[in-house]
Structure 1
């Protein structure tokens, strides 16, 4: 089949309720007066990756399970308004949702509603095969029932990426994704020895590229058995929220991969996209465009070469 899509994003559609708090951790109190208020908007990990890829000019398609509820309507509207094709399967337990507590310095704590998952849920395999046949690459979010799509995507011959987020390097659920993807993103947050975990993923799994993001400390890239560090980029505006920064990093990195760039340059793409995301309010869903990203990457290369 003719490839009509650059990236198929599988999973991670949902809704967040954003609550601004005076600090994290939040001290116990009977009540707090919240400003600038509490807002509910569509946008979880898969949505943010899809939005980021789309803003960068990549043909993007999103597949996930969504409920017949208000939250599902918000997800549908987000994709419709941005012009991102969405293939949905019915989720009887409802659309995924979470509450994000956001501190003044941009840090966040996410509380996910575990009742909105369905361990018995399945994507229609015929639909997955049809979408896989029309795409170059698949980015698989670690939500249910996405693990079941991995063998189907592999059989279709598409390359696969995944983001393990704050994996501790041990949990078996995340390991399923870690060992079946060609490109693995994860955060250093819960890792006692990031390099050891990265090499373990590459050594036991299929990954040819493993990237560990470390917030303001930049990111680490394992490729061809060599570990390299990429410093963080300076955000183009004040940092207001870290929510979605990892998803933006993955989007930028994948633009580089699909454009044939060396992984080290892909890391610069990701770094710039992630820094931009930190300047977007938690209630927003804006993403950096291709022209701005490439211009900033070129500036960074000059700065660091002169450096």
Structure 2
């Protein structure tokens, strides 16, 4: 069955203020002189996944709740300027915001403004059903309204992916996403037992593959057939300047290969290459690796052409 979109991205829109700091953690001081400066730009997890997928040539549609405010205008321009289809739903509390502190070695600390969300926030069911019917796959951000969209996506027969980010493996909020998606990404940052958490996701939910990203240590891939596999990190082709968006880029690269029919290990390698590239781009740049560069680097690393290349 044909579809209008390869991937429907739900949620995860917001605006970040990027502050480059001399070190993390930042010692207390009355003031700091900041270079290269402070910049506010559109782009949180859903925005960056949509950007990564679209830059890789996948037909992508993003839907989320944003405010009628200057921050919302930045998000509208982000999608418009990059040719990414975007459907907005009014967010009464205003567009979501965050402050990201970025150190010289590219590490970041994110401060999220939790005052924008309300208990009543929802993506309209009719809208979700309409977009799902026109899509092959859905990537769901772990923002509150998206939890209510998960059953609608399953009813539509879509495969679903999600990113749990820095889940500690215990917070019940994440469980609807962890156990309701076919492909689950999670960071190892807050996990005390990565393998145990991954196995629990695989056993209790509908996931066919679980991926735990571990920064410079690479990533871990768990499937029922192959068990736990370590995927080494890929060395960036340029200096690391900012890790912001690396996990989103990894997910985009992985999904690109998955939708092209690659096996999970090859998907993880595509993700690793895309994530490494993201670390070489300042967060203020909102850039992503393109299809040709991703395919060529994977070919160099493996000595073989990918199914993604054949699918062109």
Q: TM-score, normalised by structure 1?
A: 0.97
Q: Deviations over 1:156-190 (max 9, x none)?
A: 00000000001000000011100000000000011
Q: Deviations over 1:246-274 (max 9, x none)?
A: 00000000001100000000000000000
Q: Secondary structure at the match of 1:283?
A: helix
Match of 1:244 in 2: 245
Q: Return 5+ residue gaps in structure 2 as ranges.
A: 305-312
Match of 2:186 in 1: 186
1:148-187 correspondence to structure 2 within 5 Å: 148-187=148-187
1:20-39 correspondence to structure 2 within 5 Å: 20-39=20-39
Distance 2:118 2:207 in 1: 28
Distance 1:146 1:267 in 2: 25
Q: Deviations over 1:203-245 (max 9, x none)?
A: 0000000000000000000012511011000101000000000
Distance 2:261 2:267 in 1: 9
- In the TM superposition, what is the alpha-carbon distance from 1:301 to its structure 2 partner? 1.2
Match of 1:107 in 2: 107
The count of aligned residue pairs is: 303
Residue 262 of structure 1 pairs with residue 298 of structure 2: no
- Which runs of 4 or more aligned residues in structure 1 lie more than 3 Å from their structure 2 counterparts after TM superposition? none
Match of 1:280 in 2: 281
1:114-153 correspondence to structure 2 within 5 Å: 114-153=114-153
Distance 2:231 2:301 in 1: 11
- In the TM superposition, what is the alpha-carbon distance from 1:302 to its structure 2 partner? 3.4
Match of 1:95 in 2: 95
Distance 1:59 1:119 in 2: 32
Distance 2:152 2:283 in 1: 35
Residue 72 of structure 1 pairs with residue 82 of structure 2: no
Q: Secondary structure at the match of 1:54?
A: helix
Distance 2:156 2:255 in 1: 19
Match of 1:18 in 2: 18
Q: Return 5+ residue gaps in structure 1 as ranges.
A: none
Q: Please tell me the root mean square deviation across aligned C-alpha atoms, in Å.
A: 1.0
Q: Secondary structure at the match of 1:94?
A: coil
